[in-house]
C-alpha cells in the first residue's frame, strides 16, 4: 500500500511500496498530462524497489499476467507469437517481451519510465535476450499504422492513462487487421473495496460506478504524485467494441491453493473470495478502424 499510515486506503494501487515523501490520497479528477507526468516520475522513483521486490516472481524471461501468478505458458491467450511482430505497452523490465523473444517473436517494449527501461537493459545484458525498447506513452504510440500482429500489456499503462479512448484507438491503429490485443488490469470490482490485503479489504465501501481517479498528492508540494484510473467491465466492453475489437476472452484467475505471496492489496485472504485481476483478449475486426 502506498498511502501514508494515517491515510485510509481508498482504491486499488497496483504498486506495493511506501512513498518516498508523505502523500495524501484523494479521489479527484486528473487529466492525461497530469497523469502521465505524475506516473512517469513515480515509476522512475519506484522502479528499483519494484524490480528488487518482484523481479524474481516475474522471472527475467517470464510472462506473468498478475499477482495470482498466471503465466502465459498456462493461459495461452496471446496466440502463437513465433515470427509475429509484438508490442508490449508498459513493458517495465521487459520480462514478458523477453518471453516472447525466447518463443520466436519480434517483441518491442514501450514504457514511459526511463528507470524501468534501464532495468530492462540490465536484464537484457544479464540474460543475453535483448528486447528493443522505446520511451513513449500509450496514448501516442510512435509506430506506423498496421505495424504489429499482437499488442499486449501486463498491468502496464492502461490503468495509468486518463485518455483511455485514445490509448485503445492507438492500439487499433498500430495493429494489423486480425491482430490481437490482450491486457491485464486490476479487476474493476476491486474498486469497491479498500486496498488492503487483510480482512478490511473484504468489506465493500465504495461505489463500483465511481470513475473518479485515485490520486496521491505530495503533502509538501501539493503536486499530484501518482494517479490510477478506473473503468467498469461495461466501460471496457464499450471501449473495445467501439474501436473495432471483438472480445474473445475475459480471464479472471483464481487464487492458487498454495500461493501465499502478498502483492499490495492482492493476497490469499481476498483472492479466495473474488478476482483481483481481469485479462481481456480481443481481435481487431478485419476492417479495423
Ligand atoms: C505495474 S508495472 C508493470 C510492468 C510490467 N508489465 C510487469 O509486469 O512488471 C506498470 C508499468 O506501466 C508503465 N506506465 C505507466 N504509465 C504509462 C504510460 N502512460 N505509457 C506507457 N507506460 C506506462 C510504468 O512505467 C510501469 O513500468
Q: Is 138 exposed, middle or buried (0-12, 13-18, 19+ CB in 10 A)?
A: buried
Give the ligand 1 atom nearest the CA of 154: 6
Q: Is 100 in the pocket of ligand 1 (CB under 6 A)?
A: no
Spans of the chain, pLDDT less than 70: 1-20, 286-289
- Look at residue 1 in the predicted model and tell me its pLDDT: 28
Q: Is 171 in the pocket of ligand 1 (CB under 6 A)?
A: no
* Residue of minimum CA distance from atom 20 in ligand 1: 137
Q: Is 155 in the pocket of ligand 1 (CB under 6 A)?
A: yes
* Residue of minimum CA distance from atom 16 in ligand 1: 157
Q: Is 284 exposed, middle or buried (0-12, 13-18, 19+ CB in 10 A)?
A: buried
Q: Is residue 12 part of a domain?
A: no
- Look at residue 12 in the predicted model and tell me its pLDDT: 63
Q: Is residue 155 part of a domain?
A: yes
Q: Which three cell numbers stand for residue 261?
A: 505471496
Q: Is residue 100 part of a domain?
A: yes
Q: Is residue 4 part of a domain?
A: no
Which of 42, 98, 157, 224, when mutated, tests ligand 1's pocket best, judged by the most ligand atoms within 8 Å of its CB?
A: 157
Range of the domain at 185: 23-284
- Look at residue 21 in the predicted model and tell me its pLDDT: 76
Q: Is residue 240 part of a domain?
A: yes
* Residue of minimum CA distance from atom 17 in ligand 1: 157
Q: Is 116 in the pocket of ligand 1 (CB under 6 A)?
A: yes
CATH number of the domain enclosing 162: 3.40.50.150
Q: Is residue 50 part of a domain?
A: yes
Q: Is 58 in the pocket of ligand 1 (CB under 6 A)?
A: yes
Q: Is 160 in the pocket of ligand 1 (CB under 6 A)?
A: yes
Q: Is residue 221 part of a domain?
A: yes
Number of structural domains in the chain:
1
Q: Is 113 in the pocket of ligand 1 (CB under 6 A)?
A: yes
| Overall pTM surpassing 0.85 (yes/no) | yes
Cα(242) to centroid(ligand 1), Å: 24
Cα(112) to centroid(ligand 1), Å: 7
Q: Is 159 in the pocket of ligand 1 (CB under 6 A)?
A: no
Which of 156, 160, 171, 279, when mutated, tests ligand 1's pocket best, judged by the most ligand atoms within 8 Å of its CB?
A: 156
Other CB atoms within 10 A of residue 104 CB:
11
Q: Is residue 16 part of a domain?
A: no
Q: Is 90 in the pocket of ligand 1 (CB under 6 A)?
A: yes
Amino acid at each position: 500500500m502506498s498511502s501514508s499510515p494515517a491515510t485510509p486506503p481508498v482504491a486499488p494501487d497496483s504498486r506495493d511500496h511506501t512513498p518516498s515523501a508523505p502523500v495524501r490520497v484523494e479521489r479527484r479528477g486528473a487529466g492525461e498530462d497530469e497523469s502521465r507526468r505524475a506516473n512517469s516520475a513515480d515509476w522512475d522513483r519506484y522502479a528499483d524497489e519494484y524490480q528488487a521486490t518482484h523481479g524474481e516472481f516475474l522471472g527475467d524471461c517470464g510472462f506473468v499476467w498478475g499477482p495470482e501468478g498466471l503465466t502465459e505458458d498456462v493461459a495461452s491467450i496471446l496466440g502463437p507469437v513465433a515470427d509475429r511482430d509484438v508490442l508490449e505497452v508498459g513493458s517495465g523490465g521487459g520480462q514478458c517481451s523477453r518471453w516472447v523473444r525466447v518463443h520466436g517473436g519480434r517483441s518491442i517494449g514501450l514504457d514511459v519510465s526511463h528507470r524501468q527501461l534501464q532495468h530492462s537493459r540490465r536484464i537484457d545484458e544479464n540474460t543475453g535476450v535483448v528486447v528493443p525498447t522505446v520511451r513513449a506513452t500509450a496514448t501516442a504510440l510512435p509506430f506506423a499504422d498496421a505495424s504489429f500482429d499482437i499488442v499486449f500489456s501486463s498491468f502496464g499503462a492502461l490503468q495509468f492513462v486518463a485518455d483511455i479512448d485514445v490509448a485503445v484507438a492507438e492500439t487499433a491503429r498500430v495493429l494489423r487487421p486480425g491482430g490481437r490485443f490482450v491486457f491485464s488490469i486490476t479487476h474493476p470490482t476491486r474498486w469497491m473495496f479498500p486496498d488492503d490485503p487483510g480482512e478490511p479489504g473484504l468489506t465493500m465501501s465504495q461505489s463500483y460506478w465511481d470513475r473518479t481517479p485515485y490520486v496521491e498528492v505530495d503533502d509538501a508540494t501539493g503536486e499530484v504524485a501518482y494517479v490510477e484510473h478506473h473503468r467498469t467491465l461495461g466501460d471496457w466492453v464499450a471501449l473495445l467494441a467501439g474501436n473495432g475489437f471483438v472480445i474473445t476472452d475475459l480471464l479472471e484467475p483464481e487464487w492458487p491453493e498454495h500461493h501465499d505471496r502478498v502483492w499490495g492489496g492482492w493476497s490469499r485472504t481476498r483472492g479466495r473470495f473474488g478476482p483481483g485481476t481481469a485479462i481481456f483478449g480481443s481481435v481487431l475486426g478485419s476492417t479495423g478502424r
